Structure 1
Amino acid sequence: MLADPPPLPRPHLLSQRWLDVAFLHWAVDPGAVRHLLPAGVAPDVLDGRTYVGLVPFRLVGTAFAGGPPVPWAGTFLETNVRLYSVDATGRRGVVFLSMAAERAAAVAAGRAVFGLPYRWARMGFRHEGELRTYAARLLPPGPPVRSRVSVRPTGPAIDGALERFLTARWGLHVAHLGRTWYLPNTHVTWPLRRAEVHELDDGLLAAAGLGDLARRPPDHAAFSLGVAATFGRPLLASTPRPRPGDRLFRTGWTLGRLPQPICSVRRAPSE
């Protein structure tokens, strides 16, 4: 795993803060989730296992292209269900199976522009002392799936191999317009603490095709006060990764246009 993010070419696409983040994870056999990933992407593994994540948090201050934060619509609660992925070039990322969010505008934009599996939901967040409680109920169309999670951070900071595997992710893979894309991002190392799970009543995992996983306690639970994140422009997952000496050049993707491959690699001539 890369402990630090690779350089993010400018211009940047958007920035936002992810705050009061709970990470609940279950270890699963990679073969059990392989069919849920986009074409050209495989489950990423650690010690022969991959992980399913249930991650509720507050998304705050979305800003586009270095502009000011978008009022109201750029701040909302979200709960996502995610898997861990690696493509043929070696880029590691996450794949979102479900993204419940309380802003209809963000849901519509995320689905239309990036092909992300956003669903509009009624959501709530309560902070009582160290206890954080997150609630979500998906709105029509579709059944009213619910999720309720309460966690309390405990103990000192944690930063082991598993924590890095789960959080040192510098992009996401998504299927959109018949192709698999990689949307890169950058953020500081997550400040994590172990967490106690006080309540877990979740239907999002089952609705995402993961069966009765939520009926057993998570194998790993952590909490973070949060990080600030910045996203670059999307590129095809098949785009070669840059190497030392390569030059990156853009081919012009902008908001409001259909995604095109925006990052190509020009190899330095051999000596």
Structure 2
Amino acid sequence: MAEARWLSQTFVHWPYEPWIVQDLLPSGLTVDTYEDAAWVGFTPFVMSALRPGGLPPPRWSFPETNLRTYVRRPDGLDGLWFLSLDVGAAVMLAARAIGAPYHLGALTVHVGDGLVRYAGVRRGGFPSYGLTVRPGAPVAPGARDVWLTSRWRAFTRTGRVLWQTAVDHEPWPLYTADVVDLRQTLTAAAGLPAPSGPAVLHYAPRVRAVRFAPPRPSPAGPLSAVCATVRRHR
């Protein structure tokens, strides 16, 4: 089992029409919705003290940025689907073997003067992003806050095989956050239109004792009736 910490993580979530996101998913997964919207999350952070399972030190620390959405299997099991994963360390590229869409890039995270500044550009110069936020007060999480930030597995796919990777960690210590600056082309690179709804923001200074289970095949089965309904309402 791999272990790590997550530091200085910001969640920027945008609502989308469910059919738009469904078109980006593989067969066997249905877009998950909250208040009739699909949600796409832009989440930069620092992966700290990463130790792959069974390996001795050293531990790795590096910036990572996810573009993700929320999905369900036909049996209702929920999880994350990553539209892209940008990372500053080649150690993560091994996860491409199970379909994780990792890309190397130049990524930075700076914390100071009451601000958290993120920047990144993928090798080749596209896509890129710049985000500056001002964290605020602690949040007593409501239902939507929990739904957007608390997922305990991720799905990936290679060929006909759907994989699931379970993750466990302490509850997120969520804070409010205000955007000072935001520029990004990650959504366009993933095949999404520009976000049109207001963003929902959260900030978490740290989560300790993150544990990743080894990936394993995940029964997918046929698309569910919910997926068919999503497509019919385009």
Provide the secondary structure at the position in 2 that maps to 1:233.
coil
Q: Is the 8 A contact 2:162 2:220 kept in 1?
A: no
Match of 1:93 in 2: 79
Q: Which letter maps to 1:225?
A: P
Structure 1 residues 170 and 30: CA distance shift in structure 2, 3 A: same
Deviation at 1:48, TM superposition (A): 1.2
2:131 alignment partner AA: V
Matched with 2:203 is: 223
SS across alignment from 1:127: strand
- TM-score of the superposition, structure 1-length normalised? 0.76
> Closer, same or farther in 2 for the Cα pair 1:218/1:126, shift >3 Å?
farther
Match of 1:248 in 2: none
Gaps of 5+ in 2: 222-234
Q: Which runs of 5+ in 1 are unaligned?
A: 1-12, 241-271
The answer on 1:110 being equivalent to 2:95 is yes
54, 64, 73: which one aligns with 1:78: 64
The one-letter code matched in structure 1 to 2:200 is H
- Select the residue among 213, 218, 226 that pairs with 1:237: 218
TM-superposed deviation, 1:66: 5.6
Q: State the partner residue of 2:117.
A: 133
Contact 1:55 1:79 in 2 (8 A): yes
Q: How many residues align?
A: 220
Query: In 1, Cα distance between the equivalents of 2:213 and 2:51?
Result: 13
Larger Rg: 1
Q: Structure 1 residue 91: deviation in Å?
A: 1.4
Deviation at 1:123, TM superposition (A): 1.1
Once superposed, what is the RMSD of the aligned Cα atoms? 1.8
Which whole-Å CA distance do the structure 1 matches of 2:197 and 2:19 have between them?
21
Residue 158 of structure 1, CA deviation: 3.3
Structure 2: how far apart are the matches of 1:98 and 1:85? 15
1:246 is aligned to none
Q: Separation in 2 of the partners of 1:22 and 1:162?
A: 16
